[in-house]
Structures are given as structure tokens and as C-alpha cells.
Amino acid sequence: MNMTKDERAKVKIKALRDYRRKEPLKVIAIRYRVSAATISLWAAQAKLKRRQQGCRKKTEPDQRDIDIVQAVRAIQDGKPTLAEIGQRWPTRSSEHMSRANVHRIYQRWKDWVPEVLFQSGDKVRYLGRDFEVLRPRAFDGDVKDLKTGVVSTIPWKQGAHIAVKLNVEPGTNNGHDGHSLAA
């Protein structure tokens, strides 16, 4: 896309602001209609810290990792072995996971404890609807729709959708990385 010098300077400022906020390069590039390489060049010229290559490390395990940790914890008298546990999960390159990979996943997540974001009785907003939390769990919870009274299960985080606690005093933690919302 052809831009004037002034337009390009404005885009550069906005793109570097987003880069400092740790947004993915691909997202920034699409948002401002420039290439990811251009953003990397601008960051280097601004003497910003370069990003690490590869995938970002997970901050919490996925369901497969949780299942592996639980299976390893259930080992009694050496049965089943790590290799036998690995037979249950295929990988991209193999029909089963190796013993070493099972051990690596267990070592990474063995001390992880899920954070329960909400408590029973909390009011939350999800997809524009208000709910009361009945039974919270780490990744989802049973809730009652405040308008219709229907009880259902919703995930706390799913893609770009996040359940947000209502009636929170400004400046207090509502369970989402220090961001708060008073409704």
C-alpha cells in the first residue's frame, strides 16, 4: 500500500506502540497494512529489544498436558510405564508420544495449580449476557443466566471471548491480570 511520509510516520508510531505491548507481529502487520519484516525493521531502528524466535511458551497447560500429568501421578508399582502412557497420545511425527516427551511434559506442569477465577455467587458478563456463577472450576463453570434463569456451563476464556466479573471496584483484581471493570 502506498503511503505518504506523514501517513507512514503515524503508522510507524502506532505499530511500535503495539510492538512494545507484545502484540504478535502478524496481528500488527495486518492492522496497519505493512509487512511483519517492516515492523521488525522499525523496531530495530528504534533500538527496541528483538523478539525471540519460535512459538511463545504456554502459561498454562492444555487439556492433553493435564491428562498426561494425571496419568503419571496415577502410576503405582511402575505400572503403567511412561512409554505405555505415551501410547495414548499421537504426535505430528509419530503414532505415539515418546517416554521422554511424557517425562518432559510432566516435569513442566507437575507443580501447576489451576487458578479459579471466580467464586460462587459472583456476577459475570460473557458474550454480552449477565450470569451468576453457581459452581466455578479452573477453565469453566456452571452459571445461571440472570435474565432467563437457564443454567448452563460456559468457558471463562475462549478465543477472544473472556468472562468478566461485574460490580468490581476500580483498581481491584477481578481475576484477569489486574484489569478491572466496574459495571
pLDDT for position 172: 47
Q: How far is CA 19 from the centre of its chain?
A: 18
Average pLDDT of the residues in 165-181? 49
**How many CB atoms within 10 Å of residue 165?**
22
C-alpha to C-alpha distance for 145 and 151, rounded to whole angstroms: 6
List, in order, residues 6 or more apart from 96 with CB less than 8 Å away: 86, 87, 88, 89, 90
Average pLDDT of the residues in 27-50? 91
pLDDT for position 177: 43
pLDDT for position 161: 73
Q: Which residue has the cell 505430528?
A: 92
Q: How do 129-136 and 151-155 pair as beta strands? A: unpaired
**Which grid cell sits at 141?**
463453570
pLDDT above 70 covers a percentage of the chain that reads: 89
* Amino acid letter, residue 160: A
pLDDT for position 171: 46
Question: Domain locations in the chain?
Answer: 5-45, 63-109, 114-183
C-alpha to C-alpha distance for 142 and 25, rounded to whole angstroms: 36
Residue 167 — pLDDT band, cuts 50, 70, 90? low
Q: Which residue has the cell 478465543?
A: 159
pLDDT in tens, 56-110: 788 888 889 989 999 999 988 888 999 999 999 888 888 889 999 999 999 999 9
Task: With 0.75 as the threshold, say if the pTM is over it.
Answer: no
Q: How do 151-155 and 123-126 pair as beta strands? A: unpaired
